[in-house]
Amino acid sequence: MDIARCLTTIDLLCTRDLHPEHGGTDAGTSGPGYLVAVLQTSGEFWEDDGTERDETAAQYEHDRDGLAERLTARWGAPQIFSLVSLFDRIMADEDIPEPWALLSNHVPDLHLWQLPETERWLALGVSQWDKELPFQLIAVITDVDPP
């Protein structure tokens, strides 16, 4: 992982305007009040017996934690925010705002900071949509409070 590149991307996200509608950006995707950037993407796991997938999952969590250490030096310790219960609440027909509802489909937990002197949140997480699909290290910037 290129930590300097990831930090540069995060710094850009923190200063960008949040789009009023869904769409793509040069860093990833956006929606009303949020931007999601993919910082790193693994390969796929179609032919894997589970070993490579487990090693990759561990590496991506390690990379997230390493990046979180750098951000902790800036903004203090993050909150660890589980999205598993949000997914359960969505399944029970509760209306959960974006980006939180979308993230709960593929990210089990986030490292979360409220950015100083703003109403914005920065989140880091490891995404995987399904066991055969790639892992992604993602950064999210939003002005929507976590539910």
Q: Which two tokens stand for residue 103?
A: 């993230």
Q: Which two tokens stand for residue 29?
A: 């995707």
Which carries the bigger pLDDT value, residue 134 or residue 21?
Answer: 134
Asked if the structure places residue 20 within a domain, the reply is no
Looking at residue 30, its pLDDT comes to 87
| pTM score, whole prediction | 0.92
Where in the sequence is the domain holding 107, given as residue range(s)? Answer: 3-12+27-142
Asked if the structure places residue 109 within a domain, the reply is yes
Asked if the structure places residue 118 within a domain, the reply is yes
Asked if the structure places residue 19 within a domain, the reply is no
Looking at residue 19, its pLDDT comes to 79
Between 3-15 and 51-75, two packed helices, what is the crossing angle to 10 degrees?
A: 60
Dihedral angle of Cα 142, 58, 77, 124, to the nearest 10 degrees: -10
Cα(122)–Cα(119) distance, integer angstroms: 10
Asked if the structure places residue 18 within a domain, the reply is no
Asked if the structure places residue 21 within a domain, the reply is no
48-90 pLDDT tens trace:
787 899 999 999 999 999 999 999 999 999 999 999 999 889 9
- On whether the CB atoms of residues 66 and 73 are closer than 8 A, the answer is no
17-41 pLDDT tens trace:
887 788 877 777 889 999 999 999 9
Looking at residue 47, its pLDDT comes to 86
Asked if the structure places residue 82 within a domain, the reply is yes
DSSP string, the chain: --HHHHHHHHHHHHHSPPPSS-EE-SSEEEETTEEEEEEEE----TT--SHHHHHHHHHHHHHHHHHHHHHHHHH-PPEEEE-HHHHHHHHTT----TTHHHHTTT-SEEEEEEPTTSS-EEEEEEE-SSTTSPPEEEEEEESSPP-
Query: How many structural domains are present in the chain?
Result: 1
Whether the pLDDT of residue 6 is over 90: the answer is yes
Looking at residue 66, its pLDDT comes to 96
Looking at residue 28, its pLDDT comes to 77
